[in-house]
Structure 1
């Protein structure tokens, strides 16, 4: 679910018998609940508005900043296969992995 360029993950909460949304990529936590898609959208907007207002009041950047670096743990066998494929493509392992991740996002419609 998306509102104003912000994305949320929706899960079912068995304890409350409601759907729970969590807004992703924020510098803090913001969630919302609803029993229908319409209610989820409305509560998403309310929760996001409150979060953004608090950020404005406190002078906080609402979106989490990313460094562009992360560690990835994979099996030694997969590491070897990727390194060999990257070499065969005359690319660094980093460039090869970045292109593969970009292709994966584009194929899933999130790129």
Structure 2
């Protein structure tokens, strides 16, 4: 994981400000903006963990059922023209839509990632 931390299923981005000599980040994949910071690796990790715990605690107090960001299942993808043409041709040959081809490719990539983690 590059520039990310994980805790309780939440991801936190990590950045470094060389001018202020501080690490900072935010919890990714949620509707709210929750940020954290620290002056060392240990401090940023601790601040991230505390931020997630505080966020989950606050969410449960206001009975927020799904604190994670919602996804509608559609997004734009920009690819080179030649790759678009090849993907379209492959979808025709396989008898599926271009959306189905892209979905299969993403599912395959996600499964490969899980295999590398295990």
Q: TM-score, length-normalised on structure 2?
A: 0.76
The number of residues matched between the two structures is 111
Structure 1 SS opposite 2:96: coil
User: What's 2:52 paired with?
Assistant: 48
In the TM superposition, what is the alpha-carbon distance from 1:108 to its structure 2 partner?
4.2
User: What's 2:90 paired with?
Assistant: 85
Where structure 2 has 5 or more consecutive residues not aligned to the other structure, the ranges are: none
Deviates more, 1:72-81 or 1:29-38: 72-81
In the TM superposition, what is the alpha-carbon distance from 1:41 to its structure 2 partner?
1.8
1:42-86 deviation per Cα after TM superposition (whole angstroms, max 9, x unaligned): 111111122222222323231112122223344544322211122
Q: Distance in 1 between matches of 2:19 and 2:113?
A: 32
User: What's 2:67 paired with?
Assistant: 62
| 2:14 aligned residue (4, 10, 14) | 10
Structure 2 SS opposite 1:66: coil
In the TM superposition, what is the alpha-carbon distance from 1:11 to its structure 2 partner?
1.3
Where structure 1 has 5 or more consecutive residues not aligned to the other structure, the ranges are: none
